[in-house]
């Protein structure tokens, strides 16, 4: 980013504006978080009890249930932000790694621009019931598939190759029978 660009960004931060995304500006997910998310979610991710959920040690858990990744993209704060798809993907990656649990965030594939583009619309109109269903699925890891089990792709099993050797049963050659005792 040019010196001037960065200066403008900082000015925007200081003034509490900055929702316009300058075209071509390099993505710094932390700066994007500060400009677009921190107002409600706060720097430490704690949110506002009863209104804005606490990200800490929780947000990455959604990655482990069917429909959870898409949920993180489709909540209005994400989906309706001014961020383009690639930068929203980076901010979501930043959020799940920073607020964790980090081991989960690191063991799941990162969000990509393509995934965000495919899932962003339409944004969720009613978050509550979907969030509750996901939390229930999280509480019972072995329970029935969650909201969007269709996310899981079914891979066809590879064609079976015959393991039988050609030419019949192995070991068909029997050992010779007991010899007749030869008379002296």
Q: Which residues bind ligand HEC (CB under 6 A)?
A: 36-37, 39-41, 51-53, 58-59, 72, 75-78, 81, 83, 91-92, 95, 127, 131
Among residues 166, 167, 172, 128, the alpha carbon closest in space to that of 147 is found at: 128
Of 38 and 178, nearer to ligand HEC (C-beta) is: 38
Angle (deg, nearest 10), helices 3-15 and 29-36: 30
- The residue at minimum Cβ distance from ligand HEC is 77
> Based on the number of CB atoms within 10 Å of its own CB, is 13 exposed (0-12), middle (13-18) or buried (19 or more)?
middle
- Min dist CB 120 to ligand HEC, Å, is 11
Residue listed under structure tokens 């309706």: 80
Torsion of CA 73, 78, 79, 80, to 10 degrees: 180
Least distance from ligand HEC to the Cβ atom of residue 134, Å: 8
Identify which of residues 5 and 129 has a Cβ nearer to ligand HEC in the complex: 129
- Minimum Å distance from CB 35 to ligand HEC? 8
Shortest Cβ distance from residue 24 to ligand HEC (Å)? 19
């Amino acid at each position: 980013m040019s010196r001037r660009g960065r200066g403008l960004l900082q000015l925007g931060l200081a003034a509490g504006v900055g929702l316009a995304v300058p075209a071509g500006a390099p993505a710094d997910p932390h700066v994007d978080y500060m400009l677009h998310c921190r107002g409600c979610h706060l720097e430490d991710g704690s949110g506002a009890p009863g209104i804005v959920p606490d990200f800490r040690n929780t947000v990455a858990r959604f990655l482990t249930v069917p429909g959870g990744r898409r949920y993180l993209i489709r909540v209005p704060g994400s989906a309706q932000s001014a961020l383009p798809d690639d930068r929203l993907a980076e901010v979501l990656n930043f959020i799940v790694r920073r607020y964790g649990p980090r081991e989960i965030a690191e063991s799941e594939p990162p969000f990509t621009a393509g995934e965000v583009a495919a899932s962003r619309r339409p944004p969720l109109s009613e978050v509550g019931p979907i969030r509750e269903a996901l939390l229930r699925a999280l509480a019972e890891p072995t329970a029935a598939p969650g909201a969007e089990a269709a996310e899981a792709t079914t891979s066809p099993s590879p064609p079976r190759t015959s393991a039988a050797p050609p030419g019949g049963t192995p070991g068909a050659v029997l050992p010779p029978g007991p010899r007749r005792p030869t008379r002296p």
